[in-house]
Amino acid sequence: MLNDPVLKLAALRLSYFVLVLLIVMFQTLPFSTSPTYFIGPDLALLITLTWIMHRPDVMAPALIALTLLLVDLVLQRPPGLWSLIVLSTGMFLRMRADGFIEGIFLLEWAMVSSIIATCYLVYHFALLVTFLPTNDISVVLLQALLTVACYPLSSWIFRRLLSRKPISPNDKNTSRVVR
């Protein structure tokens, strides 16, 4: 489809950005006037970590920060707090993602699970320390557990789009790409 590595990289980054924003916008639509008590997985976090694990070369820190900052603003969370937590843990995961290229999926899932749990716990305790309203810890842990449980599905859904054909930094066409 796209033969130029720079165009392919830009298309993947744009598709990540649009996909996350569309999912968040869809989540905020009022489908019912009665309150719902369903707690679902954090799909933006799930997609971000899936893309980091499968294509760390695509997931630039600025892209993650900008996307998740917009998600914070749409969901009316404290601007930048969740973005900073996910960006920090995502960059930790990005440095280790190359080791999971040919690895066992259970090890990858365990690593991502620990990252998800860390994100939720740090966010919860940051809200507690700053005296901002937060959910009960059991609700936070349930959402983290649902997000962890959905990771294999997310990994399976994006496996074709994120096939491991890394864009080589040695190509002459990729020298103008800002990482």
**What is residue 148's predicted lDDT score, i.e. its pLDDT?**
97
Q: What span, in angstroms and rounded, lies between the C-alpha atoms of 26 and 23?
A: 5
In the three-class reduction of DSSP (H, G, I as helix; E, B as strand; rest coil), residue 23 is classed as helix
Q: Is the pLDDT of residue 20 over 50?
A: yes
Q: Is the pLDDT of residue 127 over 90?
A: yes
Q: Is the pLDDT of residue 175 over 50?
A: no
Q: Is the pLDDT of residue 171 over 60?
A: no
CB neighbours of 33 closer than 8 A, spacing ≥ 6?
Answer: none
**Model-level pTM?**
0.85
* Secondary-structure percent of the chain, ordered helix, strand, coil, rounded to 5: 65, 0, 35
Q: What is the average pLDDT across 40-48? A: 95
Tens of pLDDT, residues 53-94: 988 989 999 999 999 999 999 999 999 999 999 999 999 999
Q: What percent of the chain has pLDDT over 90?
A: 65
Burial of 69 per CB tally in 10 Å (0-12, 13-18, 19+): middle
**What is residue 78's predicted lDDT score, i.e. its pLDDT?**
94
Whole-number average pLDDT of the chain: 87
Q: At what angle do helices 105-129 and 81-96 cross, to 10 degrees?
A: 150
Q: What span, in angstroms and rounded, lies between the C-alpha atoms of 19 and 166?
A: 21
Q: What span, in angstroms and rounded, lies between the C-alpha atoms of 64 and 156?
A: 21
Residue 154's CB is within 10 A of a number of other CB atoms, namely 20
Q: What is the average pLDDT across 39-58? A: 92
Band (pLDDT 50/70/90 cuts) for residue 179 is very low
Q: What span, in angstroms and rounded, lies between the C-alpha atoms of 102 and 81?
A: 33
